[in-house]
Amino acid sequence: MTVCIWGVGTSSFGRQPDRLPAELAWEAVNEALEDAAVDGVDAAYVGTVFGAPGVAQRALWGVGITGIPIITVENACASGTTALHEAREAILAGRFERVLALGVEHISTLFEGPIAPEATDPEQASGLLLPALYALSASRHMADHGTTASDLAQVAVKNSTHGALNPRAQRRRAVTEEEVLASRPIAEPLTLFQCAGLSDAAAAAVLGPARRGERDIPIRASALRSGEAWDQDSEHVWGFDIVRATAGDAFEEAGLGPHDADVVELHDAFTIGELVTIEALGLVGEGEAAARVRAGELSLGGTQPVNPSGGLLSRGHPLGATGLAQVAELVWQLRGDAGDRQVEGARTALVETMGGGAAGLDGNGCVVAILGG
């Protein structure tokens, strides 16, 4: 059996402190149910990182979804795609026919700047918050591969150019390299425009077995892993190994390789994250990502567009909702419904989400899925 995505939906993205998480979920779920042309589901997996206990039940009751199994999952920034992964597995196992995968996050009222340390996490208490962890990756990547501050900024230039075409993006203005480098320093060498913005949002997908018609998008493969320990002696920068291993699982299941994806949505919470992930996925060789971004190969109109939505950098990063927002973008791309940012002829798509801190003290998780023909 092949599990398909029948429909997708998202709420608006942005800082929406005055709206309830449930309201955001209603927008996303109603759009996904309508897109899937169903009036209910048999189970729901709901991804959230900082959502209050019960947020899933509160949200789903409002759209009439009660009485079925509702299971909330957390897997850091990969929580949304973890919900997708578990929903697909539940259908493959024959447990349910129609399953909702929902991601919801309301964090603008919880954090002002970077996400604050957890009281019981010694890694974070030392100051190694996510911007700092990604900054370490950037410095290491610069030392290993000659990556420059300009190279990092070019990722933000590319994704903001894409995001300007995305009516659902939180940031819709194309920025220049000069603007990126002149924006406020966050963690050397990362500047403000290289960091995804805090966002309140929800995103949803309805999954089920294949039906007639061309609107349903098959999930060819999905893989999930948690990270091995990482420290300064590791061969690669933080995050590389888990993305490579998880992608390897997904490519094996699909019988495809990295160059078979016509379009990619990946986890650019910070610019360096996109460069590392492009290399870890095998889209380009190690150390080659910066040059390929600069050459335009990964832009809309290039050979293998990455983050045509504008990525997390433009769309915003509502943690638990992010993975399913990526999936929604790819469903629109594969249907030819992506408007001004359409990747022409896209038939196969790859989504990658990776989150968490350095394995060992904070752990991380990754999901890679391959959608389409």
With respect to its own copies, which residue has the nearer C-beta, 179 or 249? 249
Tell me the Ramachandran region of residue 66: left when phi exceeds 0, alpha when psi lies from -120 to 50, beta otherwise: beta
20 contributes a contact to its own copies by CB under 8 A: yes
**Calpha distance 309→340 (Å, rounded):** 10
Report the residue from 42, 61, 291, 297 that binds its own copies according to the rule CB under 8 A.
61
In degrees and rounded to multiples of 5, residue 241 shows phi and psi of -65, -40
For the chain, give the number of residues. Answer: 373
Question: For its own copies, which residue of 29, 32, 60, 186 counts as binding (CB under 8 A)?
Answer: 60
Give the three-class secondary structure for 293: helix
According to the binding rule CB under 8 A, does residue 334 interact with its own copies?
A: no
What track of x and - describes contact with its own copies for positions 89 through 128 (by CB under 8 A)? xx-xxxx----------x--x--------xxxx-------
Asked if 232 touches its own copies (CB under 8 A), the answer is: no
| Terminal alpha carbon distance of the chain | 14
Whether 4 is catalytic: no
- The rounded distance, in Å, linking the Cα atoms of 9 and 17 is 21
The HSE-up count of residue 313 (CA atoms within 13 Å, CB side) is 35
Nearer to its own copies, 193 or 230 (CB): 230
CA pair distance 360, 249, nearest whole angstrom = 22
Q: Which residue's CB is nearer to its own copies, number 58 or number 335?
A: 58
Catalytic residue, candidates 4, 77, 195, 366: 77
CB distance 42 to 97 below 8 Å: yes
User: Residue 178 belongs to what H/E stretch?
Assistant: helix 177-182
Q: How many CB atoms lie within 10 A of CB 167?
A: 9
Choose the binding region for its own copies from 51-59, 198-206, 277-285, 341-349 (rule: CB under 8 A).
51-59
Using CB under 8 A, which of 70, 99, 107, 187 touches its own copies?
Answer: 70
* DSSP run (H or E) holding 154: helix 149-163
The residue range among 54-62, 138-146, 297-305, 342-350 that interacts with its own copies, by the rule CB under 8 A, is: 54-62
Catalytic residue among 141, 195, 317, 366: 317
Judged by the rule CB under 8 A, the positions of this chain that interact with its own copies are 20-22, 49-50, 52-58, 60-61, 66-76, 82, 86, 89-90, 92-95, 106, 109, 118-121, 224-229, 245, 356-357, 359-365
Catalytic residue IDs: 77, 317
